[in-house]
């Protein structure tokens, strides 16, 4: 059974391809609160340094990505995926089977902690890009990177 993420504020795909839905897209909770709730649920024994409500969502996505999670932040008309350095086959299969209807998406990848900021490369942010197009471009860039 496919889990729809289109109505969730934050969705996270773990290394096994399992989807965690956190919050509703129209609720007042911030993306940061939703990601912190997931981190406390999924990783109760792990202390993730420097993560608190005042952090940017990029910093929390970086920390969760370092644990292998894909993070999806839904802003109603546009969604952003944060990809970890390595994506498992299970995660890729889950991504390819998601139904985001006509929502445009961007992918942030190659996240790096540079002092007070998090830097990353992007796909699909400045154009109309659906999930399949964004994933295809991401996979092409990863192939090129290995040569």
Residue carrying the six token digits 């909770």: 29
Per-residue pLDDT at 68: 94
Q: Which strands sit side by side in the sheet containing 8-13, from one edge to the other?
A: 19-24, 8-13, 70-74, 78-82, 104-114, 117-123
Per-residue pLDDT at 146: 38
Identify the segments of the chain with pLDDT beneath 50.
Answer: 1-2, 145-147
Residue carrying the six token digits 């299970």: 90
Per-residue pLDDT at 2: 47
If phi over 0 gives left and psi between -120 and 50 gives alpha, with beta otherwise, what is residue 51? beta
Does this model's pTM top 0.95? no
Q: Which of 88, 89, 83 is nearest to 66 (CA)?
A: 83
């Amino acid at each position: 059974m496919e889990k729809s993420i289109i109505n969730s504020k934050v969705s996270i795909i773990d290394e096994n391809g399992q989807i965690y839905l956190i919050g509703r897209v129209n609720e007042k909770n911030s993306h940061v609160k939703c990601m912190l709730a997931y981190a406390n649920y999924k990783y109760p024994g792990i202390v993730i340094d420097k993560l608190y409500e005042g952090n940017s969502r990029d910093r929390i996505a970086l920390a969760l990505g370092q644990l292998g999670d894909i993070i999806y932040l839904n802003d109603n008309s546009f969604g952003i995926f944060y990809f970890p350095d390595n994506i498992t086959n299970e995660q890729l299969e889950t991504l390819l089977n998601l139904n985001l209807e006509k929502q445009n998406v961007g992918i942030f990848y190659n996240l790096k902690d540079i002092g007070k900021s998090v830097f990353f490369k992007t796909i699909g942010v400045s154009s109309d890009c659906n999930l399949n197009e964004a994933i295809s471009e991401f996979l092409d860039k990863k192939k090129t990177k290995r040569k």
